[in-house]
Structure 1
């Protein structure tokens, strides 16, 4: 698969088989992530791989409770509230692996650096025939002292990109994309 095919084929996957992802594949995905550019080549990213489903279930429950406490009113939050209130909804979609990309310490460009690493990881996973999804519902909780403690993360680490990885149950439906809005100057 070439890069254009990976970019076109990569979609957020929210249904996974129970098939494990081989450790060597996970290491390859992380290797691809570390090839991302970073500000001043600081490479601040650190990776935490979670395959313990009981722990992922616990983090899901705690992250949902954290989000429900802090949702601002609005149409979007009403939709999220219904989803987060559902005891059967697991924010990691029962994927076999969560790869959390964190920065070693707060800094000016760590979010951007980790996001670039996450994109590399997700494209590499697509090329391996795997599905991925960035789980925004986990971010706020994982940045709390309780969230960091649940994963035994150093308090100085900044969790940025919680990416689930696994074998998709089905091929994700294509997503319609809007045409880009381009302003040309000169």
Structure 2
């Protein structure tokens, strides 16, 4: 698969089979992630791989409660509130793997560096026939002392990109993209 096919074909996947993802494939995704550029070549990332469904269920419950307790009023869309209050909604969509990319050193560009690694990981997952999705519902909770404790993360690390990975049940529908606003100067 060429890069254009991966960029234009990758979609966020929210329905997975129960099939496991081989450890060698996970290693390949992480190897692709670390090929990303980083500010001053600091490569400030670390990868936590979770395959324990009971632990993912626990994190899902705690992350939903955290979001409900901390979302500013007025930013609570009806859609989000419905999902977060649904006890059957699991924020990781029962994907077999969560790969959390965290910044492991302080720095001005750690978020951007980890995001670049995440994009490489997701594009490679698609090229391998896998689905992926960045789970924004998990980010804030995983960056709390409680969230870090559950995963055994050092307090100075910054969880940035919780990416689920698995075998998609079906191909996600194409998404309509807005036309970019482009400003030319000169």
Structure-2-length-normalised TM-score: 0.98
Moved over 4 A (4+): none
- Give the Cα–Cα distance (whole angstroms) in 2 for the partners of residues 40 and 178 of structure 1: 33
* Partner of residue 52, structure 1: 52
Deviation at 1:24, TM superposition (A): 0.1
Deviation at 1:78, TM superposition (A): 2.9
Listed as ranges, the matches of 1:14-33 within 5 Å are 14-33=14-33
1:10 aligns with 2:7: no
- Give the Cα–Cα distance (whole angstroms) in 2 for the partners of residues 105 and 183 of structure 1: 35
Quote the RMSD (CA, aligned, Å). 0.9
- Give the Cα–Cα distance (whole angstroms) in 1 for the partners of residues 176 and 45 of structure 2: 32
* Partner of residue 90, structure 1: 90
Gap runs ≥5 in structure 2:
none
- Give the Cα–Cα distance (whole angstroms) in 1 for the partners of residues 73 and 37 of structure 2: 37
- Give the Cα–Cα distance (whole angstroms) in 2 for the partners of residues 84 and 35 of structure 1: 35
Q: Deviations over 1:98-134 (max 9, x none)?
A: 0000010332000000000000000000000000000
Deviation at 1:179, TM superposition (A): 1.3
* Partner of residue 129, structure 2: 129
Gap runs ≥5 in structure 1:
none
Deviation at 1:80, TM superposition (A): 1.1
